[in-house]
Chain A
């Protein structure tokens, strides 16, 4: 194993950051700067995607068509999802990985720093292309983020743009994933055995394998769309002997692992934060690792649970129902382990802990509705209604996004050397808690009462809960700006952070100063098991 690569230049100039803007940010190969770039990019995308959801919720505020035409409404739902998933959540997790994985395993940088630069810089171009479609003749994609043909092929120019953008995002993700795997497998400091690694690193290792496995599948699926549209093939065109349902199978073979790509790193994050603020090691560390791996495995064999109404044979429906239900077992193990970590701990409730606790509760609620959706006879009713919209926002917003926010508050002192205002951090949390639940909880009721998803207008019976939901959305829309101000203020005026910024924090990242110098671990650290959260492998 090639541990810390040999470094020929001397340590003295290691904290020199490149001076010019171009050198520092555009040509950078430094994992911390690239991590920052990813996080800033994802923040901007969250605002853009959030603005789009604002348009949707504005139109849905009351029955009747008031603000936008149905065509544009459909473009907004489609773009909102693509921007949030590929521009918001995924880059945020890659940014956190860039920052934290080398620090957590005692590596000087990512294994492939130049590729790292490229992985990031592809993204702005990809999203430029994607967002450009909104101003093209014919507008943006309007067939839903799932891109089901034949509908998605009714788009005009945007089809080519969207597909090319997705190819670019895929290339970026695959390179990022290769880099993470190479870093974790080759660059761990001596003594940092696999089963001593922090859970964030572990979950990312597994996530990276998922990415490499499924991003090419997505690329293949959209390429077939491209040739169907522009080169006369009939992969998905029934009139030409093709099969539109085959697209759905291929798409969801990517799509289900994709949802785990967006949640496994979140599991890793809360598995770091809850032990810190419970002042107690994570309960069942090894079980957590195995549960993550088995969720990743199961995620490949449940895809058709998104397709229970396409007319699958009975045997297929039964199989996909049983397989999907099984995922509840390792997921349950995780939740139980987090609760057991808190049990007999010594807890405090700083901002990152609040977000993590909310994550456990609200993600579990999303998990419950997921389990309900797995039950085919009931899914015949739930499918494609607002019940599903509520479900996936509980796992994506109060799951993935909450964990990202928790991570930012948790590692912020390490990144910047400053503490933020606990009062305002908590204010941000409680504000979000109120509005996010106003936003998404009533959507369960709407779905059960029969409101389909992806509609720009609805019957008057659905009016009340839609209005509540929209009010929740408007409250949510200002939260990114709130967070921005809190962090900006901290950066400028925050109290200086200590090296170990949280009393119970363990792990190599807390053995370097705050803020972390530009270069860290240029010589591999000596691992002291007591400094690791999981040094004691006996458990």
Chain B
């Protein structure tokens, strides 16, 4: 009894640790994680659907090859059937069946893609600007109110020392998790359960903003403003990196998002000099709806 109780407790602890596992890469990790947003879940589902379809097709095709190589070898006295060179029937089948499989794949992919493209009804807008080699974050508005938050986030001191050989990369840790090259001096704090719209651009060369747990990456292009959105379901610290070659320190401009419950976020926001709806109401200054940055050019 006692034993079982212990195992259950261990399992529960493991399950509790799982969301955290999605937050940063694990040693020997083999697969994509489902992440903490709808978009990440969609990417994960599509990935798994595709993977299994490919595995099944692979088993069939390589299986047939294996059988052929085993049964039809000259050393076993196989005589070639030189008339087997054409068959309209099977050729039609192996053209049409793949088309049907593709339709099966395209259907959910289309559905998810349409959902991912819908940036309407966001409660908050964050502007991200890529620089060689750091990120600038500006919280433009929250609940329709303009916000003054604007800061730069770059590689943390420990990682920076380790990359210069002044520290062992293995010793760069936060709470026992290795954060070498995945930690910053200032995190981007975001609320959970809030649809957040990002406008993304760059100042010098092209970068790409990517946090795997959020499920997408989006290029940051000088002279362009790209849009994306997220809605984080679980509080946590989510780590990512620049995903477009941007020069010598491309590997050294990480991204850290700390997602916290809304109430906590609002406290943080006020600390950063932001304004909340109720305080705004008191001040009798209903801010004009933030002028939406135009998408495209």
Given contacts A375-B109, A380-B215, A452-B242, contact A345 B205 (CB under 8 A): no
Residues of B within 8 A of A347 (CB): 68-69, 72-74, 78
Residues of B within 8 A of A464 (CB): 27-28
Judged by a CB distance under 8 angstroms, whether A6 is at the interface is: no
Listed residue (A348, A378, A381) with the most chain B CB atoms within 10 angstroms of its CB: A381
* Residue contact A384 to B180, C-beta cutoff 8 Å: no
Q: Which residue of B lies closest to A348 (CB)?
A: B74
Distance, CA A74 to CA B212, complexed state (A): 24
Residues of A within 8 A of B110 (CB): 318, 321
* Residue contact B245 to A144, C-beta cutoff 8 Å: yes
* Residue contact A244 to B109, C-beta cutoff 8 Å: no
* Residue contact B90 to A340, C-beta cutoff 8 Å: yes
* Residue contact B250 to A450, C-beta cutoff 8 Å: no
Q: Which residues A40-76 have CB closer than 8 A to chain B? A: 63-65, 69-71, 74
* Residue contact A372 to B47, C-beta cutoff 8 Å: yes
Q: Which residue of B lies closest to A150 (CB)?
A: B205
* Residue contact A457 to B90, C-beta cutoff 8 Å: no
Distance, CA A71 to CA B90, complexed state (A): 54
* Residue contact B25 to A457, C-beta cutoff 8 Å: no
Q: Closest CB-CB distance, A126 to chain B, in whole Å?
A: 24
Q: Which residue of A lies closest to B251 (CB)?
A: A455
Residues of A within 8 A of B51 (CB): 372
Judged by a CB distance under 8 angstroms, whether A18 is at the interface is: no
Listed residue (A239, A322, A339) with the most chain B CB atoms within 10 angstroms of its CB: A339
Judged by a CB distance under 8 angstroms, whether A310 is at the interface is: yes
* Residue contact B72 to A345, C-beta cutoff 8 Å: yes
Q: Which residues A3-22 have CB closer than 8 A to chain B? A: none
- Among the listed stretches A183-191, A199-207, A277-285, A432-440, which one makes contact with chain B, having 4 or more residues with CB under 8 Å of it? A277-285
Judged by a CB distance under 8 angstroms, whether A132 is at the interface is: no
* Residue contact B72 to A343, C-beta cutoff 8 Å: yes
1/0 per residue, CB under 8 A from B, across A265-290: the answer is 00000000000001111111101000
1/0 per residue, CB under 8 A from A, across B161-185: the answer is 0111100111010000011111000
Q: Which residue of A lies closest to B227 (CB)?
A: A311
Q: Which residue of A lies closest to B51 (CB)?
A: A372
Instruction: Give the residue of B98, B217, B221, B242 whose beta carbon is less than 8 angstroms from that of A332.
Output: B98
A/B pair count, beta carbons within 8 Å: 292
Instruction: Give the residue of B43, B99, B168, B205 whose beta carbon is less than 8 angstroms from that of A151.
Output: B205
* Residue contact B219 to A309, C-beta cutoff 8 Å: yes
Residues of B within 8 A of A178 (CB): none
Instruction: Give the residue of A239, A342, A361, A460 whose beta carbon is less than 8 angstroms from that of B223.
Output: A239
* Residue contact A376 to B81, C-beta cutoff 8 Å: no
* Residue contact A377 to B217, C-beta cutoff 8 Å: no
Q: Closest CB-CB distance, B56 to chain A, in whole Å?
A: 11
Residues of A within 8 A of B182 (CB): 459
Q: Which residue of B lies closest to A342 (CB)?
A: B68
1/0 per residue, CB under 8 A from A, across B69-86: the answer is 100111100111110111
- Among the listed stretches A108-116, A323-331, A422-430, A473-481, which one makes contact with chain B, having 4 or more residues with CB under 8 Å of it? A323-331
1/0 per residue, CB under 8 A from B, across A128-166: the answer is 000000000000001110001011001000000000000
Q: Closest CB-CB distance, B167 to chain A, in whole Å?
A: 9
* Residue contact B91 to A361, C-beta cutoff 8 Å: no
Judged by a CB distance under 8 angstroms, whether B30 is at the interface is: yes
- Among the listed stretches B113-121, B138-146, B186-194, B276-284, which one makes contact with chain A, having 4 or more residues with CB under 8 Å of it? B113-121
User: For this complex, into which size category does the number of interface residues on chain B fall?
Assistant: 35 or more
* Residue contact A461 to B178, C-beta cutoff 8 Å: yes
Given contacts A318-B113, A328-B98, contact A458 B181 (CB under 8 A): yes
Residues of B within 8 A of A372 (CB): 47, 50-51, 54
Q: Closest CB-CB distance, A225 to chain B, in whole Å?
A: 14
Judged by a CB distance under 8 angstroms, whether A314 is at the interface is: yes
Distance, CA A368 to CA B226, complexed state (A): 30
Q: Closest CB-CB distance, B113 to chain A, in whole Å?
A: 5
Q: Closest CB-CB distance, A506 to chain B, in whole Å?
A: 11
Q: Which residue of B lies closest to A291 (CB)?
A: B95
Given contacts A64-B165, A284-B85, A372-B50, contact A345 B78 (CB under 8 A): yes
Judged by a CB distance under 8 angstroms, whether B24 is at the interface is: yes
Distance, CA A364 to CA B106, complexed state (A): 20
Given contacts A142-B248, A459-B182, contact A245 B224 (CB under 8 A): yes
- Among the listed stretches B4-12, B58-66, B266-274, B285-293, which one makes contact with chain A, having 4 or more residues with CB under 8 Å of it? B58-66
* Residue contact A309 to B250, C-beta cutoff 8 Å: no
Q: Which residues A60-118 have CB closer than 8 A to chain B? A: 63-65, 69-71, 74
Q: What 4 pairs between A and B have smallest CB-CB spacing?
A: A238-B223, A455-B251, A311-B226, A539-B86
A-B contact pairs, 25 of them (CB 8 A): A64-B162, A65-B164, A65-B165, A280-B81, A280-B84, A283-B86, A333-B95, A336-B61, A339-B65, A344-B84, A346-B74, A346-B80, A347-B74, A348-B75, A372-B50, A372-B51, A378-B109, A381-B43, A454-B250, A457-B163, A459-B180, A464-B27, A464-B28, A539-B85, A539-B86
Binding site for B on A (CB under 8 A): 63-65, 69-71, 74, 142-144, 148, 150-151, 154, 238-239, 243-245, 278-285, 287, 309-311, 314, 317-318, 321-322, 325-326, 328-329, 332-333, 335-336, 339-340, 342-349, 357, 360-361, 364-365, 368, 371-372, 375-378, 380-385, 445, 448-452, 454-465, 536, 538-539
